[in-house]
Amino acid sequence: MNGLPVPEKFEVPELDFGLSLYLDAFLELDSERTHFHGPTRIPWSSIARYAEFNEFTKEQAENLFFFVRKLDEQVLKEIEEKQEAERKRIAAIAKVKKLAGK
């Protein structure tokens, strides 16, 4: 990890021994994604390079792909839900302004 404290808004679960390796990897790999055209997954190539650079065993690399993809799915789902809520909020404001004649 980057050594920064975990923000209070995050609830960090107690992990089974050895699983923090994958959470740390996910948090580092999260910076590899780009959201230029909307939410995107962490690239496969970034996960592979991370595993290679950190000399993961084959089993660790397979686990890394599994856990990063699962965490990534959840993060993307939450981003999309927030974006949809914001779109609805903006549409409601526009509707109220139109009804008010503004």
Global confidence as pTM: 0.69
pLDDT value for 15: 65
In percent, the amount of the chain with pLDDT more than 70 equals: 81
d(Cα 102, Cα 76) in Å, to the nearest integer?
Answer: 36
DSSP state of 10: S
Backbone φ/ψ region at 42: left (φ over 0), alpha (ψ -120 to 50), beta: beta
DSSP state of 38: S
Q: Is 75 helix (H, G, I), strand (E, B) or coil?
A: helix
pLDDT digits (tens, 9 = 90+) for 38-59: 788 899 999 999 999 999 999 9
Q: What are the structural domain ranges in the chain?
A: 20-30+39-99
Place of tokens 């549409």: 91
In percent, the amount of the chain with pLDDT more than 90 equals: 42
pLDDT digits (tens, 9 = 90+) for 8-26: 555 656 767 678 889 899 9
